[in-house]
Chain A
Amino acid sequence: MTGANTAINLSVFGIFVLLTLYIVYRASTRNVSASDYYAAGSSFTGTQNGIALSGDFLSAASFLGISGAIAVNGYDGFMYSIGWVVAWLIGLMLISERLRNTGRFTMGDVMAFRMRQRPVRAAAANATLVISLFYMIAQMAGAGGLMALLLDVHSAVGQAIIIAVVGIVMVLYVLVGGMKGTTWVQIIKAVMLILCVTLMTIFLIGKFGFDVSAMLDRATQKSPLGEAVLSPGVKYGGSGLSKIDFISLALALLLGTASLPHVLMRFYTVPNAREARKSVVWATWMVAIFYSCTLVIGFGAMALVGTEKITSAPGGENSAAPLLAFQVGGTVLLGIVCAVAFATILAVVAGLTLTASASFAHDVYANVIKHGEADPRDEVRVARITAVCVGVLAIVGGIAANGQNVAFLVALAFALAASANLPTLLYSMFWKRFNTRGTLWSMYGGLTSCVLLIAFSPAISGSKSSVFPDADFAFFPLSNPGIVAIPLSFLAGFLGTILSKEPADPAKQSEMEVRGLTGIGSGLR
């Protein structure tokens, strides 16, 4: 897959980048105030934002990682798809409307609403930065692997250059376009991605005479595992411990989605709670269609390309979808699929950069350092500088993590989000007594326990697929820490609250509850 192929890939990709940069530039002419930069002036409709939400959420991990995981592990890869669809119900019913009504720009706005501002905002910013960086590094690592396959770049230096280019383009999106530009990038990308997977799915099912059973039958013949790929347990069925790992993964997927900082921040780009709800409805439809398609694409790749060919390809598991595209549509379809995958990485990383920079500028700079009295222009300037710093960190991290399994790395970011943010958000919205100490304990408790458990897990050391395969300091046996860290964070929040003598502020609690449900006092209509 070289020569003319590379030219097609590069030109499709180049056209996408130029087109989106132009749109970002056009969208951004009046991009001056903090509200414009962080929340696009809350001017998007629910439908637009819903499509952008799905764009922000459907990362390279979803497209390349999941179709690959299904193509290699069958049923156990399918688990990711289910968790990531069902999770949107939490966002819909518990989070989106209340978040829109109580906050302005960041997750910290909501968490600090009825607490002492500075410590809580600092904690929220810390969590946002750690989660975003983790997620971003996973995406950047995916970009490296994808390029290995697409452009036939095999040298470490070549891949590092590509990762750096991705990083620079995404920082450009954020600097030039702010939230408005980034949202348009997400919308374009989401539409491209959904069209691409839907058409591929229809084509694949058609190839098997619209008979899913026949496709699965063929897939089992092409997999070294045979019939077993259609049943649970290929990857996680070995021992009692790996079953717990499976449950842990399932929990992190379910509870992490609606607490990812870049997903939460999207709810501020719409004018009111009704539009926020509509966003989630749209996003749920897009996500449901997408993941139903990944099932067909994954098993289709198993049937038509074969598991062995996928695992031995340069990008490993991540190459299933591109290889399938090449098989059914030749170089042109491969070029399109790759460009879509690349656009996906670019857009998601831009969304994360924006979130991380907003969190630092709005929560840390404006509220912790300047005590809430920063000049909005300075705040935006700080946000832009942060975006550049975050971009550099992500490039360095991405180069270091190059070659890791993307879906797996992302699942760790979900575990972090689920344990640091979800308990805090739920407690602060639904538990009257919850106070500042409880907030800090649940956030830092969840975040640090999760980071430590990851550091001492088989994901980092002690096995062949670890980041450091030669060292072994894996004291913690599970590769996903969710099942321990999430309950721990709930417990920490509870204990912190009841052990603190400081009572919750009842006036603020009334305000938050009334405002959360009705929007009274938020100035939203």
Chain B
Amino acid sequence: MTKALPSVSRPAQPGFAAFDEPRHSLLIDGDGEPDFGAIQTSEDFRALKRRVTRFIIPATLLFLTWYITFVLLSAYAAGFMSTPLFGTVNVGLTMGFLQIVTTVIITMAYARYSKKRLDPQVEKVRALAETDEELA
């Protein structure tokens, strides 16, 4: 629900803030609601979006390709998958177990990335639109 009223917001720009201005540039519309359109186009939000996609797109493509490769090899390259590796443990079983390992690795990597790179940026964007509702 963006209002027709011009908002008291301005795009977040680095530097040159006058002393008598509020500490945050408030992207809030006339009714004190967050101005989502303005937030969406703000530099801070776009930076957040870039950071999100920079991780999730490659990571998603990676695990999808790895999983589908495993499934297709299991279906159409049974001979290769049954090549023994260690004793009776074959390529297929090892690859399957590695799927579990990579899942845990990607999960931990994402958790770490979010904590270091996403959460601080989320806080920055949120600061643009601290409303009474959230301060309460």
Residues of A near any B CB (own CB < 8 A): 75, 78-79, 81-83, 85-86, 88-90, 92-94, 211-214, 216-217, 220, 227, 230-233, 236-237, 243, 246-247, 250, 254, 274, 277-278, 280-281, 284-285, 288, 291-292, 295, 506-507, 510-511, 513-515, 517-521, 523, 525
Contact = CB atoms under 8 A, between A and B. Distances in A.
A487 B49 CA distance: 27
Contacts of A214: 87
A289 B1 CA distance: 45
Which 9 pairs, one residue from A and one from B, show the smallest C-beta to C-beta distance? A213-B87, A231-B82, A232-B74, A510-B36, A511-B36, A216-B88, A250-B71, A243-B75, A510-B40
B9 interface: no
Contacts of A75: 74, 81, 92-93, 96
A237 B77 CA distance: 10
A295 B97 contact: yes
Contacts of A217: 87-88
B75 A88 contact: no
Contact of B2 (A79, A88, A507): A507
Given A518-B48, A520-B39, A230 B75 contact: no
Contact of A520 (B90, B111, B126): B126
Contacts of A92: 107, 110
Given A78-B96, A82-B70, A507-B37, 7 more contacts: A78-B93, A81-B96, A230-B90, A280-B107, A284-B104, A513-B40, A520-B39
Given A507-B2, A514-B45, A247 B71 contact: yes
7 contacts: A86-B67, A231-B78, A237-B75, A288-B100, A511-B36, A518-B125, A523-B133
A295 B60 CA distance: 26
B87 A288 contact: no
Interface of B: 1-2, 33-34, 36-37, 39-40, 45, 48-49, 52, 55-56, 59-60, 63, 67, 70-72, 74-76, 78, 81-82, 86-90, 92-93, 96-97, 99-100, 103-104, 106-108, 110-111, 114, 119, 122, 125-126, 129, 133-134
A259 to B, nearest CB: 15
Contacts of A82: 67, 70, 96, 99-100
A311 to B, nearest CB: 22
A220 B88 contact: yes
Contacts of B133: 523
Contacts of A291: 100
Given A82-B96, A85-B99, A243 B76 contact: yes
Given A88-B103, A232-B75, A520-B39, A292 B81 contact: no
Interface of A is mostly: helix
Contact of B104 (A79, A81, A285): A285
Contacts of A523: 133-134
A94 B74 CA distance: 27
Given A82-B96, A281-B107, A295-B97, A525 B134 contact: yes
A213 B37 contact: no
Contacts of B106: 89
A254 B90 contact: no
Which among B75, B90, B125, B129 has the greatest number of chain A C-beta atoms within 10 A?
B75
A88 B63 CA distance: 11
From A233, A250, A514, A515, name the one whose CB has the most chain B CB atoms within 10 angstroms.
Answer: A514
B1 A507 contact: yes
B108 to A, nearest CB: 7
A356 to B, nearest CB: 29
Contacts of B134: 520, 523, 525
Contacts of B82: 227, 230-232
A520 B34 contact: yes
A81 B56 CA distance: 23
A389 to B, nearest CB: 36
B4 to A, nearest CB: 11
A17 B118 CA distance: 43
A211 B125 CA distance: 53
A514 B70 CA distance: 36
Nearest to B89: A213
Contacts of B107: 88-89, 92, 280-281, 284-285
A513 B1 CA distance: 13
B103 A284 contact: yes
